[in-house]
Amino acid sequence: MPRFRAIALAALALVLPATGSRAADQVNVYTYRETKLVQPLFDAFTRETGIAVNVISASSGLEQRIKAEGANSPADVLLTVDIGRIDDAVQAGITQPIKSAVIDEIVPPQYRDPNGHWAGISMRARVIYAAKDRVKQDSISYEELADPKWKGKICIRSGQHIYNNALFAAYLAKYGEQKTEQWLRGLKANLAQKPSGGDRETARDVAAGKCDLGIGNTYYWALMMNADPDKKPWAEATKVLLPTFAGGGTHVNLSGVLLTQHAPNKANAVRLIEWLVGDSAQQIYADSNYEYPIRPGVPLNATIAGYGKLIADPMPIAKIAAQRKAASILVDKVGFDN
């Protein structure tokens, strides 16, 4: 077992109550989100409801942990990012349907599992970080990323990373295998360097002139601009373009929530899940995490609003999830990361 997982699981024994325990005033959350990002949410929930939130954060392995714990798992809620990890949890058989009229009313159908096993609670878009001084256009399509005019001018992290896998799976769901393979080959031919690093490093390389376009998530740019003085120059040297599919909108991904199969505090878990799509929680997501609220009518953070109006592609997220494996196979087929 990798060292970080051993540490996380050891911490779990300290943070969460004894296996299988129940209490009227608690709920147990496993999360892939950094604690500092979600703690303000849980603190606010506890203040409003009196229900304590026991939380453990890890970077991987939570689905396997819950599966291994089986019926004695203390986990009530799994809070995660990206449709890939959401789908992994469902495929692992560790979830149950969230039966909630509140969720059904607030979360649009395309951002919910058709069988009720997950719901989106916030959105992020996969966008372009464009060099301010070298890219004059203010709009772009995903299809255009394969145009030879961008040869040697695009930077991106690994094609197998979950964020890119979701984008490529969305392309595959729209256009089929043949056209997606052609597009991936065209995009690969336009890369300035071997895919590497993360979205922040992509912005760094655009700012340094290594490439003119970088592909990244919306919230990373806002974090660099507002919360990381060392990286702020990378954001200042770039502008965010909201790409769209031809005849469609901008590809979005989700932060999502799942109810575990054997949740010992099920009523409190459902209450937390419903609270996460309420006005106060959605505003915290918008202002602290720089994400797009899933709840209609909640104001955007000013930085995110500054990108322009997001017209999200209407494709159901579940259809994207269904193409994840095929997209991964195509990435290897075209040697995208080589």
List binding-site positions for Fe cation: 219-220
Nearest to 216 by CA among 233, 201, 234, 236: 201
Instruction: Output the CA angle 5-10-13, nearest 5 degrees.
Output: 130
Classify the phi-psi angles of 329: left when phi > 0, otherwise alpha if psi is within -120 to 50, otherwise beta: alpha
DSSP 217-255: EHHHHHHHHHH-TTTHHHHHTEEEE--B-TTS-B-EEEE
Provide the 8-state DSSP code for 337: T
- Dig out the tokens for 14 from the structure: 């300290």
Residues ≥6 apart with Cβ < 8 Å to 21? 74, 264
Residues ≥6 apart with Cβ < 8 Å to 292? 122, 123, 124, 125, 218, 252, 286, 300, 304, 310, 312
Provide the 8-state DSSP code for 316: -
Annotated binding site: 219-220
